[in-house]
Chain A
Amino acid sequence: MSALEVSGLSVAYGPTEALRGVDLRVAEGETVCLLGANGAGKTTTLRALSGQVRPRAGSIRLDGAEITGMRPHRIAALGLIQVPEGRQVFAALTVAENLTLGAWTLRDPTEAARRRERVLARFPRLRERLGQAAGALSGGEQQMLAIGRALMAGPKLLLLDEPSMGLAPRIVEEIFAVIAELKADGVTLLLVEQNASAALEVSDRAYVLEHGRITLSGPAWKVASDPAVVAAYLGG
Chain B
Amino acid sequence: MLPQQLVNGVLLGATYALFALGFTLMFGVLRVINLTYGFYFTAGAFVAWFVTRAGGGLWLALPAAALASGVIAVVVDALLLTRLRRARADELASLMVTLGAVLALYAALAALLGPDIRRLPPAVLGNEAISLDGVRVTQAQLLILGASVVLAGGLVWLVRFSRLGLAIRAVAENPDAAGLMGIDTARVAALVSFVSGTLAGAGGVLIGLAFNAIHPYMGEAMMLRGFVVVILGGLGDIFGALVAGLLLGVIEVLTAGYLASGLKEAVAFAILVLVLWTRPAGLFGRPVARRV
Question: What is A's interface to B at a CB cutoff of 8 Å?
Answer: 50-52, 71-73, 76-77, 81-82, 84, 88-93, 97, 100-102, 104-105, 135, 149, 153
From B167, B178, B186, residue with most partner A Cβ within 10 Å: B178
Task: State how many angstroms separate the Cβ of A43 from the closest Cβ of chain B.
Answer: 12
Chain B residues with CB under 8 A of A72: 176, 179-180
A89 to B289, CA, bound (A): 13
- Asked if B183 and A101 make an inter-chain contact with CB atoms under 8 angstroms apart, the answer reads yes
From B173, B174, B185, give the contact of A73 (CB < 8 A). Answer: B185
- Asked if B169 and A153 make an inter-chain contact with CB atoms under 8 angstroms apart, the answer reads no
Query: Which residue of the partner chain A has the closest CB to B292?
Result: A92
- Asked if A104 and B181 make an inter-chain contact with CB atoms under 8 angstroms apart, the answer reads yes
- Asked if B182 and A76 make an inter-chain contact with CB atoms under 8 angstroms apart, the answer reads yes
Binary per-residue interface labels of chain B (155-174) against chain A in the complex, 1 for a CB within 8 Å, 0 otherwise: 00000000000110110011
Chain B residues with CB under 8 A of A52: 176, 179-180
Interface size class of chain B, counting residues whose CB lies under 8 Å from the partner chain: 10 to 19
Contact A97 to B166, CB < 8 A, known contacts A104-B181, A104-B182? yes
- Asked if B170 and A90 make an inter-chain contact with CB atoms under 8 angstroms apart, the answer reads yes
A52 to B174, CA, bound (A): 13
Task: State how many angstroms separate the Cβ of B187 from the closest Cβ of chain A.
Answer: 9
22 contacts between A and B (CB under 8 A): A50-B180, A51-B179, A52-B180, A71-B184, A71-B186, A72-B179, A73-B181, A73-B182, A76-B180, A81-B180, A84-B180, A88-B176, A88-B177, A88-B180, A90-B173, A92-B289, A93-B170, A100-B166, A101-B167, A101-B183, A104-B182, A153-B182
Task: State how many angstroms separate the Cβ of B163 from the closest Cβ of chain A.
Answer: 8
- Asked if B173 and A102 make an inter-chain contact with CB atoms under 8 angstroms apart, the answer reads no
Q: State whether the Cβ of B290 lies closer than 8 Å to any Cβ in chain A.
A: yes
From B166, B167, B182, give the contact of A77 (CB < 8 A). Answer: B182
- Asked if A84 and B176 make an inter-chain contact with CB atoms under 8 angstroms apart, the answer reads yes
From A71, A82, A101, residue with most partner B Cβ within 10 Å: A101
Question: What is B's interface to A at a CB cutoff of 8 Å?
Answer: 166-167, 169-170, 173-174, 176-186, 289-290
- Asked if B289 and A91 make an inter-chain contact with CB atoms under 8 angstroms apart, the answer reads yes
Contact A73 to B176, CB < 8 A, known contacts A92-B290, A101-B166? no
- Asked if A84 and B179 make an inter-chain contact with CB atoms under 8 angstroms apart, the answer reads no
A224 to B51, CA, bound (A): 75
A71 to B185, CA, bound (A): 10
Query: Which residue of the partner chain B has the closest CB to A152?
Result: B181
A105 to B180, CA, bound (A): 11
- Asked if B179 and A90 make an inter-chain contact with CB atoms under 8 angstroms apart, the answer reads no
Chain A residues with CB under 8 A of B178: 101
Chain A residues with CB under 8 A of B182: 73, 76-77, 104-105, 153
Query: Which residue of the partner chain B has the closest CB to A47?
Result: B176
A97 to B182, CA, bound (A): 15
Contact A76 to B176, CB < 8 A, known contacts A92-B169, A92-B290, A104-B167? no
